[in-house]
Amino acid sequence: MTKEAATTTPRHPDLFGHPRGLYLLFLTEMWERFCYFGMRGLLVLYLTKALFQGDDQAFAIYGAYTALVYMAPVLGGRLADRILGYRIAVMLGAVLMAIGEFLILGGSQSWLYVGMAVIIVGNGYFKANISSLVGKLYTTDDPRRDSGFTIFYIGVNVGALLATLVVVWVGERFGFKYGFGLAGIGMLLGLLIFAAGQKYYKKEGRPPRPEKLRAKVLGPLTQLQLTVLLSFLAIPLIYLLIIYNDVMGILLILTFLFVGYTLLKEGIGGGRILRDRMIIFIILCLFNILFWALFEQAGSSLTLFADRNVDRNVLGIFKMTAGQTQFFNPFFIIVMGSLFSMLWVKLSERNLNPNIPAKFGYGIISLGIGYLITRFGFFTHNEAYLVPLWIIIAIYFFHTVGELFISPIGLSMVTKLAPEKLSGTLMGAWFLSFSGSNFLGGQLAKLTHSSKVVSDVALESLTRYIDVYTSFGLIAVATGLLVLILSPQLNKLMHGIK
């Protein structure tokens, strides 16, 4: 048995065919996503309706916040690899995220930005490292790995579903502060579950040098204490980045260049196979940015589209809130996630499983089809220029199919491509691509807002949304077809990873 296999083989009997630790990480991630998606679902509505920000300003803040949320794991993953270990990093992140949600209850714009900054730091420690822990539960050649990540991904979406059904509804109906408070409570529940289940993944998540973590490195401060202190000192800087969000684009480009250089340097030093794997990783990160920049309109422009131009009456029984329309994405994930999990296993048994680049291509095409469905809005709107609810349901259905082709597969891919010493770093770099996509998504959302003064606002709004979303759809379908055509050549760079 190899050293890696010995250190990653579960020490406890499996449960339903997977390591027991997977289900505890599932529940932890579920409550963390309850926290995050509750916050995300309310943010643009809170900015526009409670703090009276204009659309463009709200989109810019949303884009900067979500970009920083996914940029932070680049550093958080590296600190876990080199200093903290995955277990301590996840617990520290959970504590900070809960604190951040409760700070928002201050009720002002300043308190919102401070809370967002604390959540961003916490997410940096939490997000990349809990995914890395899932990967550590399996040996590198374990055929259950893709299935395990898909199950884990269902946990993500159970949390998102609960967030839209509970947090967003409470926030819109009874006051935003109650929604944000519920999100913080959810994160505390996730922390308790993670702490209670440590025996199932403590070995996999331990610090690289436990004795050094408690050693004093600066006066009376240990390495652990210094790391925590520096984390808190980063909060004012992030606060400023949220306010002066125009600099985010430059910061992201510089960070991408640095991370790309680091990965290529490591790849070249590790030989031809590792070099090629770092190259394909960077290429797929770029396609990932495009996919999620278009997908992440869900929390910004698609939510305002639902607010302004969608008839949200459900069979004449009740009326959904605008934020609750985000419910359809996690709902479809939960319904279809297990089916996709089984699909990959069955296709692998028949040697028909598409390669990873091809899955990216199919996912991007499905995303594009979702946006093209908005064209039906020109023929189906009512006299108030509200399109039927089925249109936004169809958008989320095809977006979810695309997500299932890309997101859980991408997480699994990272853990396969990464050598042991780069596991957290590569996972952080993967989440950096989400950072770029969220910032870009905030800029793209501005395209849906027209500053023209018109006599019929509802008609102008509907026309603008459909025209912009049609452009998004055409770009996505064309890109996805290109990826499919190139997939055989791209797959060669994987050197056998499936």
Report domain extents, the chain.
17-492
pLDDT of residue 266: 82
List alpha helices for 84-222, DSSP H. Answer: 86-103, 109-136, 145-162, 168-174, 176-196, 210-213
Which pTM was predicted? 0.81
Mean pLDDT for the stretch of residues 133-150: 76
> With contact defined as beta carbons under 8 Å apart, do 417 and 277 qualify?
yes
pLDDT at 276 over 80: yes
pLDDT at 8 over 60: no
> With contact defined as beta carbons under 8 Å apart, do 359 and 403 qualify?
no
Q: How far apart are CA 4 and CA 139, in angstroms?
A: 7
Mean pLDDT for the stretch of residues 440-450: 87
Distances (CA, A) of 253 to 295, 433, 437: 21, 11, 12
pLDDT of residue 386: 92
pLDDT single digits (tens) 73-119:
878 877 888 888 888 899 999 999 999 999 999 888 899 999 999 99
Mean pLDDT for the stretch of residues 477-494: 93
pLDDT confidence tier of residue 240, bands split at 50, 70 and 90: very high
pLDDT confidence tier of residue 197, bands split at 50, 70 and 90: confident
Q: Interhelix angle for 145-162 vs 389-417, to 10°?
A: 140
Mean pLDDT for the stretch of residues 34-43: 90
CA-based diameter of the chain, in Å?
A: 74
pLDDT confidence tier of residue 12, bands split at 50, 70 and 90: low
> Domain 17-492 falls in which CATH fold?
Growth Hormone; Chain: A; (1.20.1250)
Q: Which two tokens stand for residue 263?
A: 């990965």
pLDDT at 455 over 70: no
Residue scoring higher pLDDT (45 or 18): 45
pLDDT at 232 over 50: yes
> Which residues lie closer than 8 Å to 85 by C-beta, 6 or more apart?
205, 206, 207, 208, 210, 213
pLDDT at 359 over 90: yes
pLDDT of residue 15: 60
Pick from 136-145, 264-273, 376-385 the range whose average pLDDT is largest: 376-385
pLDDT single digits (tens) 309-321:
999 988 888 888 8
Mean pLDDT for the stretch of residues 327-350: 84
DSSP codes of every residue in 40-83: HHHHHHIIIIIS---HHHHHHHHHHHHHHHHHHHHHHHHHIIII
pLDDT of residue 5: 42
Please name the helix (run of DSSP H) or strand (run of DSSP E) that holds residue 306, with its range, or none. Answer: helix 301-309
Distances (CA, A) of 340 to 16, 143, 408, 409, 414: 17, 15, 10, 11, 19
As beta bridge partners, residue 232 has none
Q: How far apart are CA 62 and CA 59, in angstroms?
A: 5
Amino acid at the residue 477: V
381: alpha, beta or left? (left if phi > 0; alpha if psi -120 to 50): beta
Mean pLDDT for the stretch of residues 350-365: 91
Cα-Cα-Cα-Cα dihedral sign, residues 243, 64, 370, 37: negative
Question: What average pLDDT is seen over the chain?
Answer: 86
pLDDT at 413 over 50: yes
DSSP codes of every residue in 319-361: E--TGGGGGHHHHHHHHHHHHHHHHHHHHHHTT-PPPHHHHHH
> With contact defined as beta carbons under 8 Å apart, do 361 and 487 qualify?
yes
pLDDT of residue 1: 38
Which of 160-174, 261-275, 470-484 has the weakest average pLDDT?
Answer: 261-275
pLDDT of residue 83: 84
